[in-house]
Amino acid sequence: MENKRISVSKINTKRIIVASFALIICGVFAWYLLSPSFSKVEYNSPAVNGVEQSNVPATNIAPIVTNAVVEIPVTHIKTPEHVKSVYISAWTAGGPKFLSPITKLIDSTELNAVVIDVKDSTGRVSFHSSNAELEKIGSPEKRIPDIKALTTLLHQKNIYIIGRIAVFQDPYLTKVKPEWSITRKSDGKVWKDRKGLSFLDPSKKEVYDYIATVAKEAYSVGFDELNFDYIRYPSDGNIKDINYHLVEGKTKADNIEAFFKYLSADLKKEQNIPISADLFGLTTEATDDMGIGQVWEKALPYFDFLCPMVYPSHYPPGQDGFKNPNLHPYEIINIALTSAIKKTKAMNENISKIRPWLQDFNLGAVYTPEMVSAQMKAVYDNGLNSWMLWDPANKYSSASNGALKLETIQ
């Protein structure tokens, strides 16, 4: 702020007294900020599900003080043995009414984690960053005003933070970089599905680099794990007009696997960032890539966790012999997870890698607490202990009305 010369003769006595008093207050406040008693911030570092927080010393953390601005160092929490989380959109996480109801729900139940959008299916990144490449592309949008303040506060409450990144569906970047897009056979322009949404090309290394940059930026501001969604080719619209840009001898599943391999190597190379992947629920039973490039066995080696979206509402009529799968939450999820476990064991991988998404929203049926609980029971009956709840409205009315246990699992 510029200093301006003010003629004292033009200021009355009352204003001089007010100004003097303000200067005294400012001086006292500056002394307080810079005094030893303010140079440390109190942090509690208890275990999370029996696991100590990583990168958080047992003593107080000394923040960096520059021109009376306190910058708290970014910390991370180790992955809990049992992850119980709910999905939160960036708009909800950045809104003034987010913290109270969500943290209260977590404090009073078995929940210990949240999934927050880092980059959603619009292609926009949820917060502004210090990364010049992202800012140049223009994808960051201030949906979460102060991301470090949010992650710090959640960590103070021992909440594990998972950042969701929608990968190939990206209407924003396909406009900025149409050369990175899936195109139409008919005219070479950007292909769009029936909703007018467009996809990035899963064969482009530039896309791989961009997604890795978003992921590392999210980790640098306090997200503990990165969860990748929309890791597939389009599933609806005029599929016949898609130019998949497949190299001879390569399939869609090969391209998706190449992305998995590249991403895992890049994010594990220096920081060993925990990563997870969202797959269609049917990948647990399918023997092919379902036309979208997703194959359970091709994802399993590259991620710490696979998260099949086994929402009963997303299964077609007649699936597994059920006229309306949505009315059979236990049976649908039990079948899906039994198959997932069989595939996972066949590859000599640990079944603890399986962390399903469960349904807590109304679609085709009103989902009651009993129906949410039935899904959780199917998880436990298969020897698994982790799950994530999805409600696009972030209300979790079913869960808060009785599906969640009223104690924290240790």
Give a yes or no: residue 183 inside a domain.
yes
**Ramachandran region, residue 255 (left: φ > 0; alpha: ψ -120 to 50; beta: rest):** alpha
Residue 3 resides in a domain: no
Among candidates 391, 162, 168, which has minimal Cα distance to 294? 168
For 88, 106, 292, 341, 355, the CA distances from 383, given in Å and listed in that order, are 27, 24, 29, 9, 11
| Nearest to 353, CA basis, from 277, 268, 294, 408 | 277
Residue 8 CA to residue 28 CA, distance in Å, equals: 24
User: Is residue 1 domain-resident?
Assistant: no
Interval 258-297: pLDDT, tens: 999 999 999 999 899 999 999 999 999 999 999 999 999 9
Beta-sheet pairing, 183-184 with 242-243: antiparallel
Residue 56 lies in a domain: yes
For residue 105, the model assigns a pLDDT of 86
Range of the domain at 139: 8-403
In the chain, the number of structural domains is: 1
Residue 73 is assigned to a structural domain of this protein: yes
Beta bridge partners of 181: 200
Q: Report if pTM > 0.85.
A: no
Cβ atoms of 134 and 211 within 8 Å: the answer is: no
Amino acid making up residue 118? V
Q: What is the CATH number of the domain that holds 82?
A: 3.20.20.80
Domain-located, residue 409 = no
**Structure tokens that stand for 106 in this block:** 């977590």
- Strand residues in 286-372 grouped as ranges (E): 305-309, 357-359
Task: Report the alpha-carbon distance of residue 248 to residue 371 in Å, rounded.
Answer: 47
pLDDT at residue 61, as a whole number: 36
One pLDDT digit (tens) per residue for the chain, 410 residues: 333 333 333 333 333 333 333 433 344 333 333 333 322 233 233 333 333 334 333 323 334 444 555 667 899 999 999 999 999 999 999 988 777 788 888 888 999 999 999 999 999 999 998 899 999 999 999 999 999 999 999 999 999 999 999 999 999 999 999 999 999 999 999 999 999 999 999 999 999 999 999 999 999 999 999 999 999 999 999 999 999 999 989 999 999 999 999 999 999 998 999 999 999 999 999 999 999 999 999 999 999 999 999 999 999 999 999 999 999 999 999 999 999 999 999 999 999 999 999 999 999 899 999 999 999 999 999 999 999 999 998 887 545 567 888 864 44
In a domain, 131, yes or no: yes
| Neighbouring residues of 9: CB distance < 8 A, sequence distance ≥ 6 | none
Alpha helices in 277-346 (DSSP H): 296-299, 329-346
User: Cα(292)–Cα(296) distance, rounded to whole angstroms?
Assistant: 12
**252 assigned to some structural domain:** yes
